[in-house]
Amino acid sequence: MRYRKIPDETIKRLPLYVRHLQLLMDDGRSRICSNEFAEGLCVNPAQVRRDLSFFGNFGKPGVGYDVKKVLRQLRNILKLKNVNKTALVGVGDLGSALLGYPGFLQLNFEIVAAFDNDPKKIGVTKNNVVIENVSKLNLIKQKKVRIAIIAVPPEAAQQITERLVEVGIVGILNFAPCYLTVPKKVKVINIDIAMDIARLPYYLPR
Amino acid sequence: MRYRKIPDETIKRLPLYVRHLQLLMDDGRSRICSNEFAEGLCVNPAQVRRDLSFFGNFGKPGVGYDVKKVLRQLRNILKLKNVNKTALVGVGDLGSALLGYPGFLQLNFEIVAAFDNDPKKIGVTKNNVVIENVSKLNLIKQKKVRIAIIAVPPEAAQQITERLVEVGIVGILNFAPCYLTVPKKVKVINIDIAMDIARLPYYLPR
DNA sequence: GTTTGTGAAGATATTCACAGCT
DNA sequence: AGCTGTGAATATCTTCACAAAC
């Protein structure tokens, strides 16, 4: 394998591979070939082989891939081996749902701090996390949290973002329906639910 | 303009254009050129022009685009002009949040039916919608609903999907962390929150 | 002068197809 | 024989750059 820039599209698929490998392992499978693996994920087998080959020669010709080994490698590449401490800003309906979302824990993410500006919510404990006033975002620095989830209204999102960057956040999962401006070192991933549903009618018949 | 298959990537951007045009209109702008429009969305101006040109000659050389006209056209293309009646299956934390999500109404989506299998929830009214037993999915047929949001655990998602297709659903927004198998006529859009956060640590420094 | 719409070029991503390893 | 890893071919998407429209 020679060095090449790893495509973003590859990185997007790796978590899917991790989840599927986890299922295979739970099923007691120890080996898998690219054909069967790809079929389970509805992707092209060559795609799987190329994606994996960016990171090393994980497979054995004539045999396939060792489920456990590839799983370990991918977790390592994605930096999911150690707990990723995460802060949540905005504990409305969506934020509350995210606080209890089991998918995060499965991937080794832990929400260790939550913030809101509603006096009625501050001090309340939800899913073992005490909701703090947004004025106390400094707690993020103390707790050395580097990842934040933004679930506030769009008007507030940019200001919150800037304060999050100040206290050391370098990765943001943004649920607010707006574009965030951040320094180059900070990575933002946007989840814009309304934008996704908005293109659904286009594809429908009649 | 000659006919060409419209790229999926273009369709993904149209809802963003709709939202931005809405903001411009609320600001009282009546015209906009591709340069300024693109800047507001952090995309390339040529991209905007090409995206729009797939659907007709919306702009005037030397002048730009008429905000109102393009907004109307895009809403038309995306089939957002009439109310899109939507059913929600699964009224847990996430489902509840979606029931109250203002972004849907802004785009002309209305959740007209909600289903769950928890006896404690059935009969309860949330956001003006009565939660029904999942055994009553037939209501979807009666109400002529064509779009559904799935917010159930992954184990239940495929079975629910099949029943939804039986009662006439042709578009699905799937929040369950799994791949759904559907007939060709049915369009599925997946929102997999855990998969999005799972690639965030990869991009972080150190 | 300004800005569109688009052919052509460039960039990126996917898939084929097969040499080479087990 | 079975399967990987990958060069080459293909497909898809983005951006440039400019003639034509206003």
Q: With contacts defined as CB-CB under 8 Å, which chain B residues touch A172? A: 200
Taking only the tens place, the pLDDT of each residue in A68-102 is 999 999 999 999 999 999 999 999 999 999 999 99
For B97 and D3, how far is CA from C1' in angstroms?
A: 47
Phi, psi of B66 (to 5 degrees): -85, 115
CB A172 within 8 A of CB A192: no
CB A204 within 8 A of CB B83: no
Taking only the tens place, the pLDDT of each residue in B109-130 is 999 999 999 999 999 999 999 9
Three-class secondary structure of residue A195 per DSSP? helix
- Over pLDDT 70: what percentage of chain B? 98
B8-77 shares its CATH topology with B84-195: no
Per-domain boundaries in chain B = 8-77, 84-195
Q: Do B204 and A147 touch (CB under 8 A)?
A: yes
For A26 and D1, how far is CA from C1' in angstroms?
A: 30
- Write out residues whose CB is closer than 7 A to strand D: A 1-2, 33-35, 45-46, 49-50, 52-53, 57-65; B 7-10, 43-44, 46-47, 49-50, 60-63
Taking only the tens place, the pLDDT of each residue in B123-180 is 999 999 999 999 999 999 999 999 999 999 999 999 999 999 999 999 999 999 999 9
- Over pLDDT 90: what percentage of chain A? 96
CB B136 within 8 A of CB B116: no
For A150 and C4, how far is CA from C1' in angstroms?
A: 38
| Residues whose CB is less than 8 angstroms from the CB of residue A124 and which lie 6 or more positions away in sequence, other chains included | A130, A131
- Nearest by Cα to B109 from A36, A196, A35: A196
Indicate the pLDDT class of residue B4, thresholds 50, 70 and 90. Answer: low
| Residues whose CB is less than 8 angstroms from the CB of residue A93 and which lie 6 or more positions away in sequence, other chains included | B96, B97, B100, B101
- Nearest by Cα to A66 from A34, A31, A18: A31
Indicate the pLDDT class of residue B206, thresholds 50, 70 and 90. Answer: confident
Q: Within 10 Å of residue B144's Cβ, how many Cβ atoms?
A: 9
Q: What is the mean pLDDT of chain B?
A: 96
Q: What is the mean pLDDT of chain A?
A: 95
Average pLDDT over residues A181-194: 95
pLDDT of residue B61: 97
Pairing of strands A31-32, A64-66: antiparallel
- Nearest by Cα to B111 from B133, B123, B94, B126: B126
CB B111 within 8 A of CB B86: yes
Q: Is B100's pLDDT higher than 50?
A: yes
Can you tell me which residue has its alpha carbon closest to the C1' of nucleotide C12? A7
**To the nearest whole angstrom, how far is the Cα of A30 from the nearest Cα of chain B?**
22
Three-class secondary structure of residue B51 per DSSP? helix
Fold of B84-195: Rossmann fold (3.40.50)
Per DSSP, helices labelled H in chain A are: 8-26, 34-41, 45-53, 67-77, 93-99, 102-106, 139-142, 154-166, 193-198, 200-203
* B61 is near strand C: CB distance < 7 Å: yes
Fold of A8-77: Arc Repressor Mutant, subunit A (1.10.10)
pLDDT of residue A1: 42
Q: Do A197 and B16 touch (CB under 8 A)?
A: no
* B64 is near strand C: CB distance < 7 Å: yes
